[in-house]
Structure 1
Amino acid sequence: MTQRIETLANRPDFLRAARAGRAHAPGFLVQGRKRREGEPADPDLIRVGYTCSKKVGNAVARNRAKRRLREIARAVITTEGRPGWDYVLIGRPELTATLPMDQMRADLSRALQKLHG
């Protein structure tokens, strides 16, 4: 079943995800948390945020890494993510922009299983 995803935009949402669970993958880090009942977001919605620090590279390299993270999120989180959860994908220097997309999709799938596990 394909779920609807929305992009995280507010810093407090990113900080709440940072305090929750995390799963490491070779090309990125995934942070995830189940939203509480009282939060204003739609409980049937999956929210995803993307971030890359300056360690990833200049603006061109960071944007490329985030585009790749968005693409794997569209492919994997829409089918394997859970409604009512927030996820943050964090790019890693050099690896996020260079790993094969098939490997990154498989890594994200494993990371989500670990988070939900």
Structure 2
Amino acid sequence: MSEPLHTIRKRADFLAANRGLRNARAGFVLLTRGNEGQGKRFGVTVTKKIGNSVVRNRMKRRFRELLRAALPGEGLADTDHVLIGREGGVERDFAKMRDELSQALARAREGKGDPARRRKR
């Protein structure tokens, strides 16, 4: 039987995950960082730039379902996984997002990540 998934709730844990590996896809960014033996944990964040509360909550529900389905088999052990919503994430096909999440998890497992985006001036 696989280990249970836990939800990240503390801001400090989200900030710590931001210092880990970053894998960007069209609908989301996956952040992964080891958590010193606390098991597989996940968190979801969507900023107000994405849309109103209805849109943000719908995106968060979709992301939570993606993570609950993918992490037991493909997730990294003793790692925090955080999905950050991007602009096109609500309209994207669910099956396509599932494939993109699998690819992002595979890259994270290999220790490969994408560089951080430049800040807009």
**Same-fold status (TM-score > 0.5):** yes
Distance in 2 between residues matched to 1:3 and 1:68, nearest whole Å: 22
Q: Which residue is 1:7 aligned to?
A: 7
State whether structure 2 residue 58 is matched by structure 1 residue 75.
no
Where is the helix percentage greater, Structure 1 or Structure 2?
1
Gaps of 5+ in 1: 37-42
Q: Which residue of 1 aligns with 2:24?
A: 24
SS for the counterpart of 1:55 is coil
* Counterparts in 2 of 1:44 and 1:53: CA distance versus 1, 3 Å: closer
What is the alpha-carbon distance in structure 2 between the residues aligned to residue 78 and residue 51 of structure 1? 20
Paired with 1:53 and 1:81, the residues of 2 have a C-alpha distance of 24
Given residue 110 of structure 1, which amino acid in structure 2 is its aligned partner? Q
Q: Which residue of 1 aligns with 2:107?
A: 114
Identity of aligned residues (%): 40
SS at match of 2:77: coil
**2:38 & 2:17 partners in 1: Cα distance?**
18
Letter in 1 for 2:46: C
CA RMSD of aligned residues (A): 1.3
Residues 45-97 of structure 1: CA distance to partner in whole angstroms, max 9, x if unpaired?
Answer: 2100000001110011000000010011011112100220001000111x111
Counterpart Cα distance in 1 of 2:20 and 2:38: 20
Give yes or no for contact 1:53–1:62 (8 Å, CA) kept in 2: yes
Distance (whole Å) between structure 1 residues aligned to residue 33 and residue 38 of structure 2: 14
Structure 2 unaligned regions, length at least 5: 111-121
Structure 1's consecutive aligned runs of 4 or more residues displaced over 4 angstroms after TM superposition are none
